[in-house]
Amino acid sequence: MIIKTQAYPRVGLIGNPSDGYFGKTIAFTFKDFCAEIELWESPELELLPSRRDHSVFPSMCDLHEDVKRHGYYGGFRLLKASCKCFLDYCNDRGIILDRRNFTMRYRSNIPGRVGLAGSSAIITACMRALMGFYNVEITRHTLANLVLSVENTELAIPAGLQDRVAQAYQGLTYMDFDQKFMDERSYGNYKSLDIEKLPPCYIAYREDLAEGTEVYHNDLRARYKRKNPEVLQAIQRWAELAEELKELLQRSEVGDRKKEVGSRKTEVGSRRTEVACPKDAPAARGGQEPIQNQLSPSSTSALEHSSTSSLPPSSTSALSHSSTSELLPSSTFALQEMHNLINENFNLRASLYDVGDGNREMVETARACGASAKFAGSGGAIVGFLKDEDTFAKLQAAFKPKGIVVLKPAIV
Protein backbone atom coordinates (compact mmCIF):
# COMPACT_ATOMS: atom_id res chain seq x y z
CA MET A 1 0.00 0.00 0.00
CA ILE A 2 1.29 3.45 -0.92
CA ILE A 3 0.57 6.29 1.48
CA LYS A 4 0.10 9.65 -0.23
CA THR A 5 -0.05 12.90 1.69
CA GLN A 6 -0.06 16.53 0.67
CA ALA A 7 0.45 20.02 2.01
CA TYR A 8 -0.29 23.29 0.28
CA PRO A 9 1.43 26.64 -0.11
CA ARG A 10 0.63 29.34 2.40
CA VAL A 11 -0.19 32.99 1.82
CA GLY A 12 0.31 35.43 4.67
CA LEU A 13 -2.78 37.58 4.14
CA ILE A 14 -2.12 40.11 6.88
CA GLY A 15 -0.11 40.63 10.06
CA ASN A 16 3.08 39.00 8.84
CA PRO A 17 5.89 39.07 9.78
CA SER A 18 4.68 39.67 13.36
CA ASP A 19 4.18 35.91 13.90
CA GLY A 20 7.82 35.54 14.90
CA TYR A 21 7.45 38.28 17.51
CA PHE A 22 4.35 37.33 19.53
CA GLY A 23 2.07 39.07 17.04
CA LYS A 24 -1.08 38.12 15.14
CA THR A 25 -1.64 37.03 11.55
CA ILE A 26 -4.23 35.69 9.14
CA ALA A 27 -3.13 33.27 6.44
CA PHE A 28 -4.66 30.84 3.99
CA THR A 29 -3.58 27.78 2.02
CA PHE A 30 -4.47 27.25 -1.62
CA LYS A 31 -4.25 24.20 -3.84
CA ASP A 32 -3.13 25.53 -7.16
CA PHE A 33 0.20 23.95 -6.17
CA CYS A 34 1.18 21.34 -3.61
CA ALA A 35 3.93 19.29 -2.05
CA GLU A 36 3.26 15.55 -2.10
CA ILE A 37 4.84 12.60 -0.32
CA GLU A 38 4.58 8.97 -1.38
CA LEU A 39 5.65 6.34 1.15
CA TRP A 40 5.55 2.55 1.04
CA GLU A 41 6.98 -0.31 3.07
CA SER A 42 10.34 -1.67 1.92
CA PRO A 43 13.19 -3.88 3.27
CA GLU A 44 15.47 -0.88 3.86
CA LEU A 45 14.74 2.72 4.70
CA GLU A 46 15.37 4.78 1.57
CA LEU A 47 14.75 8.45 0.82
CA LEU A 48 14.57 9.14 -2.91
CA PRO A 49 15.79 12.44 -4.31
CA SER A 50 13.58 14.59 -6.50
CA ARG A 51 14.46 16.68 -9.54
CA ARG A 52 15.39 19.57 -7.21
CA ASP A 53 18.12 17.39 -5.74
CA HIS A 54 19.83 16.47 -8.98
CA SER A 55 23.54 17.10 -9.50
CA VAL A 56 23.85 16.70 -13.29
CA PHE A 57 23.40 19.79 -15.47
CA PRO A 58 23.65 20.38 -19.23
CA SER A 59 25.92 23.38 -18.68
CA MET A 60 27.32 25.87 -16.20
CA CYS A 61 24.50 28.26 -17.11
CA ASP A 62 21.93 25.61 -16.23
CA LEU A 63 23.58 25.03 -12.87
CA HIS A 64 23.54 28.78 -12.26
CA GLU A 65 19.84 29.02 -13.09
CA ASP A 66 19.03 26.05 -10.86
CA VAL A 67 20.78 27.65 -7.89
CA LYS A 68 19.03 30.93 -8.57
CA ARG A 69 15.61 29.29 -8.57
CA HIS A 70 16.03 26.61 -5.91
CA GLY A 71 19.03 27.62 -3.82
CA TYR A 72 21.80 25.24 -2.83
CA TYR A 73 19.53 22.75 -1.13
CA GLY A 74 16.70 20.68 -2.53
CA GLY A 75 14.13 18.84 -0.48
CA PHE A 76 16.26 15.82 0.43
CA ARG A 77 17.63 17.39 3.60
CA LEU A 78 14.07 18.31 4.62
CA LEU A 79 12.99 14.66 4.46
CA LYS A 80 16.03 13.48 6.37
CA ALA A 81 15.60 16.09 9.10
CA SER A 82 11.85 15.40 9.30
CA CYS A 83 12.39 11.67 9.86
CA LYS A 84 14.99 12.37 12.54
CA CYS A 85 12.73 14.85 14.37
CA PHE A 86 9.72 12.54 14.10
CA LEU A 87 11.66 9.78 15.83
CA ASP A 88 12.87 12.25 18.48
CA TYR A 89 9.26 13.30 19.07
CA CYS A 90 8.12 9.70 19.51
CA ASN A 91 11.05 8.74 21.75
CA ASP A 92 10.47 11.75 24.00
CA ARG A 93 6.86 10.66 24.53
CA GLY A 94 7.45 6.95 24.91
CA ILE A 95 5.84 6.13 21.59
CA ILE A 96 7.38 2.89 20.33
CA LEU A 97 7.53 2.60 16.57
CA ASP A 98 7.48 -0.80 14.93
CA ARG A 99 10.59 -1.92 13.07
CA ARG A 100 9.20 -1.70 9.55
CA ASN A 101 11.18 0.29 7.01
CA PHE A 102 9.91 2.39 4.15
CA THR A 103 10.82 4.14 0.94
CA MET A 104 9.82 7.78 0.65
CA ARG A 105 9.83 10.19 -2.24
CA TYR A 106 8.55 13.69 -2.67
CA ARG A 107 7.58 16.08 -5.39
CA SER A 108 6.55 19.70 -5.25
CA ASN A 109 5.45 22.23 -7.81
CA ILE A 110 5.25 25.08 -5.31
CA PRO A 111 7.28 28.00 -6.69
CA GLY A 112 10.50 28.06 -4.70
CA ARG A 113 11.98 30.89 -2.66
CA VAL A 114 9.17 33.37 -3.29
CA GLY A 115 7.65 33.30 0.19
CA LEU A 116 4.94 30.66 -0.32
CA ALA A 117 6.25 28.27 2.36
CA GLY A 118 7.32 25.52 -0.02
CA SER A 119 9.86 24.02 2.38
CA SER A 120 7.45 23.73 5.30
CA ALA A 121 4.87 22.20 2.93
CA ILE A 122 7.30 19.38 2.14
CA ILE A 123 7.99 18.84 5.85
CA THR A 124 4.29 18.94 6.76
CA ALA A 125 3.43 16.39 4.07
CA CYS A 126 6.34 14.22 5.25
CA MET A 127 5.13 14.29 8.85
CA ARG A 128 1.63 13.33 7.76
CA ALA A 129 3.00 10.37 5.83
CA LEU A 130 5.04 9.20 8.84
CA MET A 131 2.02 9.60 11.10
CA GLY A 132 -0.03 7.45 8.74
CA PHE A 133 2.64 4.77 8.31
CA TYR A 134 3.31 4.37 12.03
CA ASN A 135 -0.27 5.15 13.13
CA VAL A 136 0.79 8.06 15.37
CA GLU A 137 -1.74 10.78 16.15
CA ILE A 138 -0.47 14.36 16.50
CA THR A 139 -2.72 17.36 17.10
CA ARG A 140 -2.64 20.17 14.57
CA HIS A 141 -1.01 22.72 16.85
CA THR A 142 1.61 20.17 17.88
CA LEU A 143 2.24 19.26 14.25
CA ALA A 144 2.93 22.94 13.51
CA ASN A 145 5.45 23.09 16.36
CA LEU A 146 7.11 19.87 15.20
CA VAL A 147 7.48 21.17 11.65
CA LEU A 148 8.96 24.41 12.97
CA SER A 149 11.49 22.47 15.06
CA VAL A 150 12.72 20.73 11.91
CA GLU A 151 13.52 24.09 10.35
CA ASN A 152 14.55 26.14 13.39
CA THR A 153 16.34 23.59 15.54
CA GLU A 154 17.51 20.88 13.17
CA LEU A 155 18.32 22.92 10.05
CA ALA A 156 18.83 26.39 11.57
CA ILE A 157 16.40 28.02 9.12
CA PRO A 158 14.91 31.23 10.60
CA ALA A 159 11.12 30.97 10.59
CA GLY A 160 7.98 31.71 12.60
CA LEU A 161 4.98 29.55 13.36
CA GLN A 162 2.56 31.15 10.89
CA ASP A 163 3.38 28.97 7.87
CA ARG A 164 3.30 25.74 9.82
CA VAL A 165 0.04 26.57 11.59
CA ALA A 166 -1.60 27.58 8.31
CA GLN A 167 -0.51 24.33 6.66
CA ALA A 168 -1.53 22.19 9.62
CA TYR A 169 -5.00 23.75 9.89
CA GLN A 170 -5.54 24.64 6.21
CA GLY A 171 -8.21 27.00 4.96
CA LEU A 172 -8.32 30.56 6.30
CA THR A 173 -6.74 30.75 9.76
CA TYR A 174 -6.42 33.51 12.34
CA MET A 175 -3.41 33.16 14.64
CA ASP A 176 -2.66 34.97 17.90
CA PHE A 177 0.87 34.31 19.15
CA ASP A 178 0.51 36.28 22.37
CA GLN A 179 3.53 35.73 24.60
CA LYS A 180 1.33 34.51 27.46
CA PHE A 181 0.02 31.66 25.31
CA MET A 182 3.45 30.83 23.96
CA ASP A 183 5.11 30.79 27.38
CA GLU A 184 2.36 28.74 29.02
CA ARG A 185 1.73 26.09 26.37
CA SER A 186 4.15 26.72 23.46
CA TYR A 187 1.39 27.45 20.96
CA GLY A 188 -0.99 30.31 20.27
CA ASN A 189 -4.71 30.79 19.87
CA TYR A 190 -5.74 29.58 16.42
CA LYS A 191 -9.17 29.97 14.83
CA SER A 192 -10.47 28.88 11.45
CA LEU A 193 -12.38 31.65 9.68
CA ASP A 194 -15.19 31.41 7.15
CA ILE A 195 -13.66 31.35 3.66
CA GLU A 196 -16.93 32.61 2.19
CA LYS A 197 -16.46 35.92 4.02
CA LEU A 198 -13.20 36.56 2.18
CA PRO A 199 -13.41 38.95 -0.77
CA PRO A 200 -12.02 37.73 -4.10
CA CYS A 201 -8.24 37.87 -4.10
CA TYR A 202 -5.23 37.22 -6.31
CA ILE A 203 -1.64 36.04 -5.96
CA ALA A 204 1.24 37.16 -8.17
CA TYR A 205 4.84 36.01 -8.09
CA ARG A 206 8.08 36.24 -10.03
CA GLU A 207 10.74 33.60 -9.59
CA ASP A 208 13.55 35.86 -10.73
CA LEU A 209 13.24 37.56 -7.34
CA ALA A 210 13.73 34.28 -5.48
CA GLU A 211 15.52 34.78 -2.18
CA GLY A 212 15.72 32.73 0.99
CA THR A 213 13.49 33.79 3.89
CA GLU A 214 16.52 34.24 6.14
CA VAL A 215 17.68 37.24 4.08
CA TYR A 216 14.59 39.20 5.11
CA HIS A 217 14.17 37.89 8.64
CA ASN A 218 17.72 38.08 9.97
CA ASP A 219 17.98 41.88 9.97
CA LEU A 220 14.49 42.36 11.39
CA ARG A 221 15.18 39.89 14.21
CA ALA A 222 18.46 41.59 15.06
CA ARG A 223 16.72 44.95 15.31
CA TYR A 224 13.94 43.40 17.37
CA LYS A 225 16.46 42.01 19.84
CA ARG A 226 18.00 45.47 20.11
CA LYS A 227 14.49 46.76 20.90
CA ASN A 228 14.52 49.15 17.99
CA PRO A 229 11.48 51.44 18.58
CA GLU A 230 10.41 51.45 14.91
CA VAL A 231 10.45 47.67 14.73
CA LEU A 232 8.55 47.26 18.00
CA GLN A 233 5.89 49.72 16.88
CA ALA A 234 5.61 47.99 13.50
CA ILE A 235 5.14 44.58 15.10
CA GLN A 236 2.37 45.94 17.29
CA ARG A 237 0.66 47.59 14.33
CA TRP A 238 0.91 44.44 12.17
CA ALA A 239 -0.85 42.52 14.93
CA GLU A 240 -3.55 45.20 15.09
CA LEU A 241 -4.08 44.97 11.33
CA ALA A 242 -4.72 41.23 11.62
CA GLU A 243 -7.20 41.81 14.44
CA GLU A 244 -9.00 44.53 12.47
CA LEU A 245 -9.30 42.36 9.36
CA LYS A 246 -10.60 39.45 11.44
CA GLU A 247 -13.32 41.65 12.90
CA LEU A 248 -14.24 42.97 9.45
CA LEU A 249 -14.46 39.44 8.05
CA GLN A 250 -16.59 38.23 10.94
CA ARG A 251 -19.14 41.02 10.70
CA SER A 252 -18.79 41.77 6.99
CA GLU A 253 -21.73 41.29 4.69
CA VAL A 254 -19.47 40.93 1.64
CA GLY A 255 -19.73 37.14 1.55
CA ASP A 256 -23.32 37.07 2.78
CA ARG A 257 -24.46 39.66 0.27
CA LYS A 258 -22.86 37.70 -2.56
CA LYS A 259 -24.66 34.56 -1.46
CA GLU A 260 -27.97 36.40 -1.08
CA VAL A 261 -27.72 37.92 -4.54
CA GLY A 262 -26.64 34.57 -5.99
CA SER A 263 -29.56 32.82 -4.28
CA ARG A 264 -32.04 35.32 -5.66
CA LYS A 265 -30.61 34.90 -9.16
CA THR A 266 -30.78 31.10 -8.83
CA GLU A 267 -34.37 31.32 -7.62
CA VAL A 268 -35.38 33.58 -10.49
CA GLY A 269 -33.55 31.35 -12.95
CA SER A 270 -35.33 28.28 -11.58
CA ARG A 271 -38.73 29.93 -11.96
CA ARG A 272 -37.91 30.88 -15.53
CA THR A 273 -36.78 27.33 -16.26
CA GLU A 274 -39.97 25.91 -14.79
CA VAL A 275 -42.16 28.17 -16.91
CA ALA A 276 -40.22 27.28 -20.04
CA CYS A 277 -40.64 23.52 -19.52
CA PRO A 278 -43.32 21.72 -21.54
CA LYS A 279 -46.21 20.43 -19.44
CA ASP A 280 -45.15 16.82 -19.86
CA ALA A 281 -41.47 17.49 -19.01
CA PRO A 282 -40.15 16.62 -15.54
CA ALA A 283 -39.50 19.53 -13.18
CA ALA A 284 -35.92 20.81 -13.26
CA ARG A 285 -33.86 19.95 -10.19
CA GLY A 286 -31.93 22.69 -8.48
CA GLY A 287 -28.63 21.82 -6.87
CA GLN A 288 -26.06 22.79 -5.90
CA GLU A 289 0.54 54.59 -7.57
CA PRO A 290 3.38 54.50 -5.72
CA ILE A 291 3.65 52.58 -2.42
CA GLN A 292 2.02 55.29 -0.29
CA ASN A 293 -1.04 55.55 -2.53
CA GLN A 294 -4.33 54.25 -1.20
CA LEU A 295 -7.05 52.76 -3.34
CA SER A 296 -9.97 54.75 -4.64
CA PRO A 297 -13.13 54.48 -2.48
CA SER A 298 -15.02 53.10 -5.47
CA SER A 299 -14.76 49.36 -5.02
CA THR A 300 -17.88 47.28 -5.22
CA SER A 301 -17.84 44.17 -7.32
CA ALA A 302 -16.81 40.72 -6.26
CA LEU A 303 -14.85 38.38 -8.47
CA GLU A 304 -14.80 34.67 -8.79
CA HIS A 305 -12.17 32.67 -6.92
CA SER A 306 -11.06 30.23 -9.61
CA SER A 307 -7.92 28.27 -10.22
CA THR A 308 -5.72 26.88 -12.92
CA SER A 309 -4.77 23.80 -10.99
CA SER A 310 -1.41 22.21 -11.58
CA LEU A 311 -1.60 19.56 -8.88
CA PRO A 312 -0.12 16.12 -9.29
CA PRO A 313 -2.56 13.64 -10.84
CA SER A 314 -3.15 11.89 -7.51
CA SER A 315 -4.43 15.00 -5.81
CA THR A 316 -8.01 16.11 -5.74
CA SER A 317 -9.17 18.67 -8.23
CA ALA A 318 -9.08 22.32 -7.24
CA LEU A 319 -12.34 23.80 -6.08
CA SER A 320 -13.12 27.44 -6.56
CA HIS A 321 -15.17 29.97 -4.64
CA SER A 322 -17.59 31.29 -7.18
CA SER A 323 -19.53 34.50 -6.68
CA THR A 324 -21.73 36.83 -8.56
CA SER A 325 -20.18 40.11 -9.63
CA GLU A 326 -22.97 42.07 -7.95
CA LEU A 327 -22.37 43.49 -4.49
CA LEU A 328 -24.96 45.52 -2.63
CA PRO A 329 -23.88 49.00 -1.49
CA SER A 330 -23.74 48.18 2.24
CA SER A 331 -20.81 45.81 1.65
CA THR A 332 -18.70 48.38 -0.19
CA PHE A 333 -17.31 50.14 2.87
CA ALA A 334 -16.09 46.94 4.52
CA LEU A 335 -14.42 45.85 1.29
CA GLN A 336 -12.61 49.18 0.97
CA GLU A 337 -11.44 48.95 4.57
CA MET A 338 -10.01 45.51 3.85
CA HIS A 339 -8.11 46.93 0.88
CA ASN A 340 -6.68 49.68 3.07
CA LEU A 341 -5.49 47.24 5.75
CA ILE A 342 -3.68 45.10 3.16
CA ASN A 343 -1.93 48.15 1.73
CA GLU A 344 -0.91 49.46 5.13
CA ASN A 345 0.69 46.12 6.01
CA PHE A 346 3.12 46.45 3.10
CA ASN A 347 3.66 50.19 3.47
CA LEU A 348 4.80 49.64 7.03
CA ARG A 349 7.15 46.86 6.00
CA ALA A 350 8.63 48.94 3.20
CA SER A 351 9.33 51.73 5.69
CA LEU A 352 11.59 49.45 7.75
CA TYR A 353 13.93 48.08 5.11
CA ASP A 354 14.59 47.94 1.41
CA VAL A 355 12.06 45.53 -0.07
CA GLY A 356 13.84 45.50 -3.43
CA ASP A 357 13.00 47.26 -6.66
CA GLY A 358 11.38 44.19 -8.22
CA ASN A 359 9.06 43.62 -5.28
CA ARG A 360 8.18 47.29 -5.09
CA GLU A 361 7.38 47.31 -8.80
CA MET A 362 5.00 44.35 -8.40
CA VAL A 363 3.13 46.11 -5.61
CA GLU A 364 2.92 49.42 -7.46
CA THR A 365 1.74 47.71 -10.64
CA ALA A 366 -1.01 45.83 -8.78
CA ARG A 367 -2.22 48.97 -7.05
CA ALA A 368 -2.24 50.89 -10.32
CA CYS A 369 -4.64 48.23 -11.62
CA GLY A 370 -7.01 48.82 -8.71
CA ALA A 371 -5.98 45.94 -6.44
CA SER A 372 -4.52 46.09 -2.96
CA ALA A 373 -1.09 44.49 -2.55
CA LYS A 374 1.35 43.23 0.07
CA PHE A 375 3.93 40.48 0.45
CA ALA A 376 2.46 36.97 0.59
CA GLY A 377 5.55 35.97 2.55
CA SER A 378 9.07 37.33 2.67
CA GLY A 379 9.25 38.59 -0.91
CA GLY A 380 8.85 37.41 -4.47
CA ALA A 381 5.07 36.94 -4.22
CA ILE A 382 2.27 39.36 -3.41
CA VAL A 383 -1.37 39.02 -2.43
CA GLY A 384 -4.29 41.41 -2.39
CA PHE A 385 -7.99 41.86 -2.89
CA LEU A 386 -9.55 42.57 -6.26
CA LYS A 387 -11.34 45.89 -6.59
CA ASP A 388 -13.89 44.87 -9.20
CA GLU A 389 -14.54 42.37 -11.94
CA ASP A 390 -12.15 43.99 -14.39
CA THR A 391 -9.21 44.17 -12.02
CA PHE A 392 -7.92 40.66 -12.59
CA ALA A 393 -7.86 41.16 -16.36
CA LYS A 394 -5.91 44.37 -15.82
CA LEU A 395 -3.44 42.52 -13.59
CA GLN A 396 -2.93 39.85 -16.23
CA ALA A 397 -2.29 42.44 -18.92
CA ALA A 398 0.12 44.43 -16.74
CA PHE A 399 2.06 41.49 -15.32
CA LYS A 400 2.48 39.30 -18.39
CA PRO A 401 5.08 41.51 -20.13
CA LYS A 402 7.07 41.60 -16.90
CA GLY A 403 7.20 37.80 -16.61
CA ILE A 404 5.00 37.82 -13.51
CA VAL A 405 2.53 34.99 -12.94
CA VAL A 406 -0.88 35.99 -11.54
CA LEU A 407 -3.70 33.69 -10.45
CA LYS A 408 -6.89 33.57 -8.45
CA PRO A 409 -6.20 31.04 -5.67
CA ALA A 410 -8.40 28.05 -4.91
CA ILE A 411 -8.41 28.30 -1.13
CA VAL A 412 -8.55 24.99 0.68
Q: Which residues of 304-320 are buried (b: 16+ CB within 10 A; e: fewer)?
A: ebbbebebeeeeeebee
- Cβ atoms 143, 127 nearer than 8 A: yes
Q: Which residues of 95-132 are buried (b: 16+ CB within 10 A; e: fewer)?
A: eeeeeeebbbbbbbebbbbbbbbbbbbbbbbbbbbbbe
| Residue from 19, 32, 163, 388 carrying the catalytic annotation | 163
Calpha distance 45→134 (Å, rounded): 14
Of residues 33, 54, 170, 51, the one with CA closest to residue 111: 33
Of residues 294, 296, 299, the one with CA closest to residue 335: 299
DSSP bridge pairs for 383: 203, 374
Interior CA angle at 2 toward 103 and 81, to 5°? 40
Run of H or E including 6 = strand 2-7
Q: What's the number of CA atoms in the CB half-sphere (13 Å) around residue 146?
A: 28
183 catalytic, yes or no? no
- Written as one letter, the residue type at 231 is V
Give the helix ranges, DSSP H, for 93-161: 118-134, 140-149
Sheet holding 172-176, edge to edge: 10-14, 24-29, 172-176, 189-193
Give me the active site residues, please: 163
